[in-house]
Amino acid sequence: VVMANGRIQQIGTPIDIYNEPVNAFVADFIGESNILDGTMPADRRARFAGQVFDCLDAGFGKDEPVDVVIRPEDVDVVAPEKGQLRGLVTAVTFKGVHYEIIVDVCGFKWMIQSTDYVSEGQTIGLSIDPDAIHVMKKSEFSGMFGDYSSFSDELDKLSDATEEVEEE
């Protein structure tokens, strides 16, 4: 059970909750996520990051605003010309089992977890399979984490601390 403000948000197994969060709060609570604003132009089609992607979700109104969740481990790093999206690698951290890669796609910070090494400053392609795209109805928690990955608050705090030191 995942609760917020004394109310049940979702009941399910940990795997179900992780793979199919019902809202942005649950998606952020259960693990790191790329949470984007999007729309549903049609069943099994989601528009976000300026592109239309195939997905498995249906039952939304035409062009209904939605939250789109993509887990960092579900984004594949590919050559720029083979990606559905392209972005600039702004940070790479070795985490032991994988690299945590921060990619700027048109001002949106994506977190990607990959066993493939890429260099900071490199342009890469991002490939996202339809089953990796989780679409949720907008809720009271929509926008709570910003129109960027849920880890970004932590990253922003680190950036702010660096800026404060430089200003002194």
**For 144-166, what is the mean pLDDT?**
48
**For 6-17, what is the mean pLDDT?**
86
Three-state DSSP class for 32? coil
**For 60-88, what is the mean pLDDT?**
96
**For 32-47, what is the mean pLDDT?**
94
| pLDDT range class, residue 134, cuts 50, 70, 90 | very high
Mean pLDDT of the chain: 85
Report the alpha-carbon distance of residue 93 to residue 110 in Å, rounded: 14
| pLDDT digit string, tens, across residues 53-67 | 999 999 999 999 999
Domain residue extents for the chain = 2-153
Q: Is the pLDDT of residue 91 over 60?
A: yes
Task: Calculate the CA 82 to chain-centre distance.
Answer: 20
Report the alpha-carbon distance of residue 13 to residue 19 in Å, rounded: 10
Q: Is the pLDDT of residue 24 over 60?
A: yes
Q: Is the pLDDT of residue 87 over 90?
A: yes
| pLDDT digit string, tens, across residues 94-127 | 999 999 999 999 989 999 999 999 999 999 999 9
Residue carrying the six token digits 């493939």? 116
Burial class (CB in 10 A: 0-12, 13-18, 19+), 25: buried
| pLDDT range class, residue 135, cuts 50, 70, 90 | very high
What pLDDT score was predicted for residue 141? 63
Evaluate whether the domain defined by 2-153 bears CATH number 2.40.30.10: no
**Count of helices and strands (H, E) across the chain:** 3, 12
